[in-house]
Amino acid sequence: METDDKELSPQESLALIKTMINKTKDSVADDSFYFLLWGWLVFVCCIAEFILKVYYQYPYHYVVWWTMPAAGIASAVYGARQSKQKKVTSFVDEALGFLWMAIGLSFITLVVINIINGQNWQTAFTYYILLYAIGTFMTGSLIRFKPLIIGGLINFALAIISIRLNYDNQLLIGSVAILISYIIPGHLLRMKHQKQKN
Amino acid sequence: MFKELDPILHSQLRLAVMSLLIAVKEAEFTYIREKTNATAGNLSVQVQKLKEAGYIEVTKQFKDNYPQTTCKITAQGIEAFEAYVKALQQYLQAGQG
C-alpha cells in the first residue's frame, strides 16, 4: 500500500475490505501447547495411576494427580509470555480464553465436589471426559479444525461408555479419551501452524 | 460521484486499517504495518487521523522496555464502517441499474 491518496472506485474499496479481512483469518493463536501439555500429562497420569493401583496395589495411587497444579502454573506462565509476544487478539482468541477458563473452573469444581462427596470418585472420569468433549468440540468449531471436533464428538460417546466401567478401567478410558481429544489433535494443530509459518 | 462517502474512510490505507481492525478485537501497530505493507511514517499519520475522527482507540504502553502501540476500533468506528459499506453497495447497485 504505497499511496494514500489514490482515488478508489466502489469496487476497489470493497475488494480492499475483503482482502484485509481475509488477512486476519490466520491470526488465531497457536494453542497447541496447552493441548499437548495437558494431554500428555493426563495421559501419563492415567496410565501411571492404573499401574500403581492394579499392579502394585499402591494405596496412594492417586498421588500422580498432584502434578496438575504444576501444569496449571506452567500454563499460566506460558499464557502470560504469549500475551506479551502477541501482536493481534482475534475475537476467537478471546472467546477461547473464556471457554477454557470456565472449563478449568469446572475441573476444580468437580474435584471439590468429589472430595466433599466422601471421596467418591466413581463418576469422576465420566464428567472429566464430558468436559474434554465440550472444550475440544467448541474449540474445534471456533477455529474450524476438524480433528478437535471429531475428538470432542468421540469423547461424548466415551463419557457414556465410561459410566458402566469400574474405576480401574475408567483410568484406561480416560487415557484413550485424552489421546483422541487432546494429544492427536494437538500434534496435528501444531503441524498446521508450523506449516503456516513456513 | 463519491461526495457522500465518508472521506475519512475513503482512502486506501485508512480503509485497509479499519478493515483489519473490524475483524479482530485489537491489533498492534506492527501487525497492521505487516498486513498493509505501509511505511511506519505513513501508517502513523493515518492512524492518527482515524484516532482524531474517533474511529479507533490507540493505547501506548511499554512491554519489556519496548514501546507498544495497540489499536482497537470504537463503536463509532464500527458505525462509520458499516455506513461506508452500505453507501458502497448503493453505488454499485446504482451502477448496475
Residue A42 lies in a domain: yes
Q: What is the pLDDT of residue A6?
A: 64
Q: What is the pLDDT of residue A17?
A: 93
Q: What interface predicted TM-score (ipTM) does this complex get?
A: 0.89
- Cα separation, B20 vs B28, in Å, equals 11
pLDDT in tens, B69-90: 999 999 999 999 999 999 988 8
Please name the residue that has the C-alpha cell 500422580: A64
Distance from the Cα of A35 to chain B's closest Cα (Å) equals 24
B25 with A93: Cβ contact below 8 A: yes
Residues of A in contact with B26 (CB under 8 A): 88-89
pLDDT in tens, B16-35: 999 999 999 999 999 999 99
- Cα separation, B60 vs B70, in Å, equals 6
Please name the residue that has the C-alpha cell 469423547: A155
How many domains is chain A partitioned into structurally?
1
- In chain B, at which residue ranges do the beta strands (DSSP E only) sit? 26-28, 56-63, 66-73
Residue A104 lies in a domain: yes
Q: Which of A100, A45, A34 is nearest to A68 (CA)?
A: A45
CA dihedral A173, A178, A184, A188 (to 10 degrees): 160
Mean pLDDT, residues A157-185 taken together:
95
Q: What is the pLDDT of residue A8?
A: 84
Distance from the Cα of A29 to chain B's closest Cα (Å) equals 12
pTM: 0.85
Residue A82 lies in a domain: yes
Range of the domain at A77: 30-197
Check whether B42 has a pLDDT greater than 60.
yes
Higher pLDDT, A34 or A115: A34
Q: Which of A5, A23, A89 has its CB closest to that of B11?
A: A5
User: How confident is the prediction for chain A on average, in pLDDT?
Assistant: 91
A10: contact with B, CB 8 A cutoff: yes
Residues 6 or more apart in contact with residue A15 via CB below 8 angstroms: none
The nearest alpha carbon in chain B to A93 belongs to B25
Residue A139 lies in a domain: yes
User: How confident is the prediction for chain B on average, in pLDDT?
Assistant: 90
Residue A97 lies in a domain: yes
**What order of strands is seen across the sheet that includes strand B66-73?**
A88-89, B26-28, B66-73, B56-63
Q: Which three cell numbers stand for residue B67?
A: 514501546
pLDDT in tens, A49-64: 999 999 999 999 889 9
- Cα separation, B70 vs B27, in Å, equals 6
Q: Class assignment of domain B12-92?
A: mainly alpha
Residue A60 lies in a domain: yes
| Residues of chain A numbered 43-82 and touching chain B (CB < 8 Å) | none
B63 with A11: Cβ contact below 8 A: no
Quick one: pLDDT band at residue A119, thresholds 50, 70, 90? Answer: low
pLDDT in tens, A139-164: 999 999 999 999 999 999 999 999 99
Residue pair A74/A38 in contact by the 8 Å Cβ criterion: no
Percentage, residues of chain B above pLDDT 70 = 95
Residue A155 lies in a domain: yes
- Cα separation, A99 vs A160, in Å, equals 23
- Cα separation, A49 vs A57, in Å, equals 10
Q: What is the pLDDT of residue A2?
A: 46
Quick one: pLDDT band at residue A75, thresholds 50, 70, 90? Answer: very high
pLDDT in tens, A28-42: 888 899 999 999 999
